[in-house]
Structure 1
Amino acid sequence: MITPIVMTVPPFRPTAVRLGAAVLAVLVAVLILASPAWAHNSLRTATPARDATVPSAPTAVTLEFMQRLDPAFTTIVLTDAAKRQLPTGEPVVTGAKSTVQVVDTLPNGTYTVAYRVVSVDGHPVQGSYPFTVADPASSAAPVANVSASAPAPSAAAAAKSGGGPSAGILVAAAVLALLVLVTAGLLWRRAARR
């Protein structure tokens, strides 16, 4: 009599598949929840706008970002064509928007808005852009660019402090550590059964 050969699936495979599926589900959930923290903040809109020519001097500069700002680490600096910092009020932060009041009336000319902000994820973002005031009724002479080598106040110099590591990096590191531990456990279990 011939004995039939019966092939059985090792018991570790269903457990490994279930464990792998659970790890994958946790990974997907963490990545979906953490995705806003991974995307660094950026400027959405500005008033006056980048490279705009405005017909009257603005009384305020308003910057709106993609994510909420940390009010303690928000800096906006306004300079003229001669790279001189102009007086402004303190930044007022409301969610993702920050506004500074312009103290003096700006004569016709080109101005630069420099900013450095820290979003709630701890990541610092900085940048700058120009705009021009061209008021036909203004009798004030435009500010000339007196020297191309005059030091420009950088947004970094105006900043109060930098941020720490972003939450997205910390979450990614935790997920990676979990995956390494699970994989090592599965490999050790498989080797022990052989």
Structure 2
Amino acid sequence: MMPARSRRPSLAGLVAAALAAVVVLVPASPAAAHNSLQAADPARDARLSAPPTQISLRFLQKLDPAFTTIVLTDAGQGKIPTSEPAVTGATGSVTISEPLANGSYTVAYRVVSTDGHPVQGSYAFTVADPTASAAPTADTGAGSPTSADPAASARRSDGSGPLPLVAGAIAVVAAIAGVMLVLRRRRATS
């Protein structure tokens, strides 16, 4: 009678199991969740019938007050006077110093969450108060560039995405495969 041979998992099976574990566990990892804008008042692409007096931005994570910047500009890229940003937990806000005239405006922000991760972006909104005058526009004389496309300044870039997760998963799988290969060679030589 032949002795029963214990079945050990193959290297390919172990690598597949490790990859499946990484795919399931990595997206749920709190370290992978970077801060991002959760809500804004006024909202992205809002068309307001009355000018706002404050801009409030709420993020997913608590902000570092020392590194919070919120800037408001008009269609001509002129900076609108506001207060210094006030930070309460995950919310940053500024008070607008003067009433806004009709026109397009861009809110730009750069914040750093308490974990040290910087996030920046911008978005546009429009004031269309039927009782107010139009906002000043940029000089559109011959040869001077204009920036009338609010979509061009509303692009968000917070630096997060799937690439760091994929690279981390590949590194983990490669490390596990390397350890398994070394263990298998040791067993074969002993």
Q: Say yes or no: TM over 0.5.
A: yes
Deviation at 1:175, TM superposition (A): 5.7
Matched with 2:145 is 149
Rate the CA distance shift 1:117–1:177 in 2: closer, same or farther, 3 A: farther
Distance, in Å, in 2 between the alignment partners of 1:40 and 1:95 is 16
Deviation at 1:60, TM superposition (A): 0.8
The residue type paired with residue 189 of structure 1 is: R
Deviation at 1:61, TM superposition (A): 0.4
Task: Indicate the RMSD between aligned Cα atoms, in angstroms.
Answer: 3.7
Distance, in Å, in 2 between the alignment partners of 1:72 and 1:41 is 16
The residue type paired with residue 45 of structure 1 is: A
Distance, in Å, in 2 between the alignment partners of 1:112 and 1:33 is 33
Distance, in Å, in 2 between the alignment partners of 1:90 and 1:180 is 53
Rate the CA distance shift 1:8–1:52 in 2: closer, same or farther, 3 A: closer
Of 176, 186, 189 in structure 1, the residue corresponding to residue 186 of structure 2 is 189
Distance, in Å, in 1 between the alignment partners of 2:114 and 2:172 is 21
Of 97, 105, 108 in structure 2, the residue corresponding to residue 111 of structure 1 is 105
Percent of residue pairs bearing the same amino acid type: 52
Report 1:1-194 matches (<5 A): 4-9=1-6, 13=8, 31=25, 35-138=29-132, 140-147=133-140, 149=145, 172=168, 179=176, 182-183=179-180, 185-193=182-190
Aligned residues of 1:37 and 1:121 also touching (Cα < 8 A): no
Q: Mark the structure with the bigger radius of gyration.
A: 1
Give the TM-score of the pair, scaled to structure 2: 0.66
Aligned residues: 164
Q: Which runs of 5+ in 2 are unaligned?
A: 148-152, 154-158
